[in-house]
């Protein structure tokens, strides 16, 4: 039987071991040419990953310091990649002895398996999440789409993200990328023997399975699908998506996207980053006094913004004549309250719909409420992530803040990690959609003079968040200003939003903004980034 191999795309840092020229590299494995090389042995014991550096010219940084995880495959001389490719290499080299049956389980011993009924190799390993391995959370998908396999020699790509305990495999067709996670979070796919077409994207199919499934059953579903694929047949992708909450639907990641958690997420004044919804309704701070009416909204998100349209006594009961059932569950956010014990909660979609009706928005599309609450909750989680970034830099004072910022934004996470944990809390917030911030007004003026560079729609919303900061044992209240922008939607219709989060323009806030942004500009303009790259290259 002719064997076709899966190309595994992993983007991470790794341990570089020289003198491994005879070991099969990833190129030889992916092309099934292992006759003139040796399959790398399975490594054992914990490796000191603290000394790991990026392979070759890769920009990926080592951030998974766990001996149970593997490394990147983008550098051929990384012997530690044997953690991932050893059994796969053996399958290609000795297909007759390759394991051909067994159970897929997230906790089983990692093994590559040649499926009995198709030219396909798969694995039982719980792979490190793509989201944890690259600066941009969609980079894993984009990398895969740009390096398309040869249909004559390669069959499937395996991609993985940390999500939920339930084992699932989804078929990723053609050149789709970032939209996958958003679409999966909106679907309900139960355990089945067949691939199910997603309602919101007819090019995406999902196979939901229970916590364990036989290789034969997994293979049979793929074989049946691939006999007559309804869409393009040259490119197929498969992913295992474990589900920590265990509910039976296509999953979504449990962590914030990399664009919000890493240094690339910093919203510099010259170009706020775009944020895309990836999570279901989570939780959000809702003050009991912020019920002032806003002006007629200019966007659907503004219309459905819980921070502007909340009441202290929202009902969970369905509205009169309501025909579409909305969830009533409320989930806790990641934003700590000032009491030091609890976290803020977001309203349920049903509460949000009731609030909109009380504010007179009777024409609201009830089927859009869940999605827009999810978008809003996601944006607030992102806003809090940015606030925490500011607090980590400056809660210890301006001098310590400068020390963390002096090597630019790219090295700030390293400095902040060394400084230790900072735990700010959110005291209260205020929605001020009618009041444009000075910065937003200035950008609008610049947009009229330089439309190509600064032209943009005004922010559709503004919040002021009041954060508790501990300085030398004393508690200080710090105000942050957040501008919410709508960007042009993706070609697929996916919404794009921009957040600009910064301290209010008080004397201390102005100093913090000047230190952070000025230090980054100076670092890059003076060649600091180049010097840092050279230094790391020499030490590695």
Last residue of a domain, one of 98, 127, 157: 98
Q: Are residues 44 and 155 in the same domain?
A: no
Query: What's the mean pLDDT in 84-93?
Result: 56
Given a contact cutoff of 8 angstroms between Cβ atoms, the answer to whether 195 and 205 are in contact is yes
**Residue 144 within a domain:** yes
**Cα–Cα–Cα angle for 385, 387, 391, nearest 5°?**
115
**Residue 1 within a domain:** no
To the nearest 10°, report the CA torsion of 534, 520, 410, 453: -110
Pick from 78, 82, 32, 37: nearest CA to 56? 78
User: Which of the two residues, 31 and 455, has the higher pLDDT score?
Assistant: 455
Q: What is the pLDDT of residues 211-224, one digit of tens each?
A: 454 545 555 665 56
Residue 446 has pLDDT above 50, yes or no: yes
Phi, psi of 173 (to 5 degrees): -95, 145
Q: Are residues 216 and 359 in the same domain?
A: no
**Residue 245 within a domain:** yes
Share of the chain above pLDDT 70, in %: 43
Given a contact cutoff of 8 angstroms between Cβ atoms, the answer to whether 305 and 376 are in contact is yes
User: Which of the two residues, 115 and 250, has the higher pLDDT score?
Assistant: 115
Q: What is the pLDDT of residues 8-67, one digit of tens each?
A: 222 222 222 233 336 665 556 555 666 777 765 544 333 444 444 433 333 333 332 332
Query: What's the mean pLDDT in 143-159?
Result: 35
pLDDT at 167: 28
**Residue 258 within a domain:** no
Determine the Cα–Cα distance for residues 471 and 68; give it in Å rounded to an integer. Answer: 39
For residue 368, give both structure tokens.
């859009």
Looking up tokens 């093994």 gives 111
pLDDT at 480: 95
Residue 515 has pLDDT above 90, yes or no: yes
Q: Are residues 82 and 126 in the same domain?
A: no
Q: Are residues 364 and 382 in the same domain?
A: yes
Extended beta strands in 399-520, E state? 425-431, 461-471, 474-487, 496-503
Last residue of a domain, one of 98, 129, 148: 98
DSSP tally for the chain: helices H, then strands E: 15, 19
Mean pLDDT of the chain: 60
User: Which of the two residues, 535 and 502, has the higher pLDDT score?
Assistant: 502
Query: What's the mean pLDDT in 413-440?
Result: 83
Pick from 27, 19, 110: nearest CA to 69? 110
User: Which of the two residues, 245 and 413, has the higher pLDDT score?
Assistant: 413
State pTM to two decimals: 0.47
Residue 111 has pLDDT above 60, yes or no: no
Residues 6+ apart with CB under 8 A from 505: 438, 481, 513
**Residue 473 within a domain:** yes
Residue 260 has pLDDT above 60, yes or no: no
Q: Are residues 192 and 212 in the same domain?
A: yes
Determine the Cα–Cα distance for residues 402 and 373; give it in Å rounded to an integer. Answer: 37
pLDDT at 339: 79
pLDDT at 527: 84
What is the crossing angle of helices 369-394 and 408-419, to 10°?
80
Query: What's the mean pLDDT in 516-540?
Result: 80
**Residue 2 within a domain:** no
Residue 144 has pLDDT above 90, yes or no: no
Determine the Cα–Cα distance for residues 38 and 312; give it in Å rounded to an integer. Answer: 68
Counted residue by residue, the chain has a size of 540
Q: Are residues 246 and 277 in the same domain?
A: no
Q: What is the pLDDT of residues 349-393, one digit of tens each?
A: 888 888 778 777 777 888 888 877 887 788 888 889 899 999 999
Pick from 183, 182, 220: nearest CA to 205? 183
User: Which of the two residues, 214 and 491, has the higher pLDDT score?
Assistant: 491
Determine the Cα–Cα distance for residues 81 and 352; give it in Å rounded to an integer. Answer: 49
**Residue 538 within a domain:** no
Looking up tokens 């074989």 gives 223
Pick from 8, 516, 525: nearest CA to 267? 516
- Strands 163-164 and 243-243, bridge-based pairing: parallel
pLDDT at 332: 79
pLDDT at 435: 87
Determine the Cα–Cα distance for residues 92 and 25; give it in Å rounded to an integer. Answer: 13
Pick from 198, 204, 195, 120: nearest CA to 156? 120
Q: Are residues 130 and 89 in the same domain?
A: no
For residue 404, give both structure tokens.
């963390």
Query: What's the mean pLDDT in 143-150?
Result: 37
Determine the Cα–Cα distance for residues 60 and 210; give it in Å rounded to an integer. Answer: 33
Pick from 311, 310, 293: nearest CA to 433? 293
pLDDT at 91: 62
Q: Which domain does 234 fall in, by range?
A: 106-253
For residue 109, give both structure tokens.
């011993």
Q: Are residues 445 and 482 in the same domain?
A: yes
Residue 250 has pLDDT above 90, yes or no: no
pLDDT at 488: 74
Last residue of a domain, one of 253, 285, 304: 253
User: Which of the two residues, 373 and 157, has the higher pLDDT score?
Assistant: 373
Q: What is the pLDDT of residues 270-308, one digit of tens each?
A: 222 233 333 322 233 333 333 333 343 344 344 444 444
Extended beta strands in 229-314, E state? 236-240, 243, 274-275
Share of the chain above pLDDT 90, in %: 6
**Residue 21 within a domain:** yes
Sign of CA dihedral 294, 300, 301, 307: positive
Domain count, the chain: 3
Q: Are residues 81 and 110 in the same domain?
A: no
Q: Are residues 297 and 192 in the same domain?
A: no
């Amino acid at each position: 039987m002719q064997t076709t191999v899966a190309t595994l795309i992993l983007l991470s840092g790794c341990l570089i071991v020289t003198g491994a020229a005879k070991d099969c590299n990833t190129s030889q494995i992916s092309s099934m040419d292992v006759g003139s090389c040796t399959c790398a042995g399975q490594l054992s014991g914990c490796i000191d990953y603290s000394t790991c550096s990026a392979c070759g010219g890769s920009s990926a940084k080592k951030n998974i310091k766990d001996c149970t995880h593997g490394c990147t495959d983008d550098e051929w001389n990384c012997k530690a990649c044997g953690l991932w490719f050893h059994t796969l290499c053996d399958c290609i080299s000795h297909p007759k002895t390759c394991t051909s049956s067994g159970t897929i389980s997230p906790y089983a011993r990692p093994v590559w398996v040649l499926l009995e009924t198709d030219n396909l190799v798969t694995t039982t390993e719980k792979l490190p999440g793509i989201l944890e391995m690259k600066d941009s959370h969609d980079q894993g998908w984009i990398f895969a789409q740009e390096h398309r396999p040869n249909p004559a020699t390669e069959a499937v790509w395996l991609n993985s993200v940390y999500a939920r305990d339930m084992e699932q495999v989804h078929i990723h067709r053609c050149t789709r990328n970032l939209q996958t996670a958003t679409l999966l979070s909106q679907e309900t796919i139960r355990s089945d023997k067949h691939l199910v077409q997603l309602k919101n994207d007819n090019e995406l199919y999902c196979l939901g399975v229970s916590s364990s499934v036989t290789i034969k059953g997994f293979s049979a579903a793929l074989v049946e699908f691939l006999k007559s694929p309804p869409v393009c047949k040259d490119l197929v992708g498969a992913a295992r998506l474990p589900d920590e909450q265990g509910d039976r639907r296509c999953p979504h990641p449990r962590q914030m996207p990399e664009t919000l958690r890493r240094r690339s997420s910093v919203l510099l004044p010259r170009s706020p980053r775009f944020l895309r919804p990836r999570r279901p309704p989570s939780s959000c701070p809702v003050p009991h006094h912020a019920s002032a009416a806003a002006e007629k909204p200019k966007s659907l998100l503004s219309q459905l913004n819980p921070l502007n349209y909340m009441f202290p006594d929202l009902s969970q009961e369905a509205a009169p004549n309501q025909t579409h059932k909305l969830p009533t569950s409320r989930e806790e956010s990641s934003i700590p309250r000032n009491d030091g014990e609890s976290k803020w909660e977001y309203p349920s979609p049903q509460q949000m719909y009731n609030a909109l009706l009380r504010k007179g928005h009777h024409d609201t599309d009830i089927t859009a409420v869940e999605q827009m609450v999810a978008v809003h909750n996601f944006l607030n989680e992102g806003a809090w992530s940015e606030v925490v970034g500011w607090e980590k830099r400056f809660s210890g004072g301006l001098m310590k803040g400068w020390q963390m910022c002096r090597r630019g934004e790219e090295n700030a996470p390293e400095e902040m990690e060394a400084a230790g944990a900072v735990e700010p809390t959110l005291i209260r917030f205020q929605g001020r959609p009618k009041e444009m911030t000075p910065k937003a007004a200035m950008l609008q003026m610049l947009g009229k003079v330089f439309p190509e560079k600064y032209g943009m729609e005004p922010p559709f919303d503004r919040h002021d968040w009041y954060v508790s900061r501990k300085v030398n044992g004393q508690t200080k209240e710090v105000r942050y200003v957040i501008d919410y922008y709508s960007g042009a939607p993706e070609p697929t219709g996916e919404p794009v939003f921009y957040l600009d989060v910064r301290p209010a323009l008080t004397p201390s806030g102005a100093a913090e903004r000047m230190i952070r942004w000025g230090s980054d500009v100076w670092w890059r303009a003076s060649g600091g980034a180049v010097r840092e790259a050279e230094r790391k290259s020499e030490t590695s």
